[in-house]
Amino acid sequence: MQDNQLTKEEIAQLTDADWKERLSAEEYQIMREKGTERPFTGVYNDTTDDGVYRCKGCGAKLFDADNKFNAGCGWPSFDQTIDNSAIDEHLDTSLGMRRTEVTCSNCGAHLGHVFPDGPRETTGMRYCINSVALELDKDAK
């Protein structure tokens, strides 16, 4: 996979109709409407391949496969992002809960949530991410 990351300028020009054309119906519902895929159904839940996980919407690098771990929660989990600027965090009080939503800092796509219950021997964080919002680039590092 080549580094085909969309620029902020290209993203700013995308309309809602453009996003619906670029993404499948499920991808759109999760990434643009803050949905969640069913647990244990995502293509990357059990993946152990090397590479870099990119945003499905814009191609931005989000997570290194070396930071993926099996949290048993049904979604791909990572203990840290590829760098501190890859993801934005937002308070999410939907569904009567208080959580921290994570979005792609490049295109604003909803990715999932982050929780402070990850591996204590590393960061202690668990980025719980929808597979449908990711694309594994096995050639990148």
Catalytic residue IDs: 128
Contact 77, 68 (CB under 8 A): yes
**Is 104 labelled a binding residue?**
yes
Report residue 94 CA to chain centroid gap. Answer: 19
Backbone angles phi, psi at 49, to 5 degrees: -65, 150
**Is 107 labelled a binding residue?**
yes
Backbone angles phi, psi at 102, to 5 degrees: -120, 135
**Listed residue (17, 53, 77, 63) closest to 139, CA to CA:** 53
The annotated binding site for Zn(2+) is made up of 55, 58, 104, 107
The annotated binding site is made up of 55, 58, 104, 107
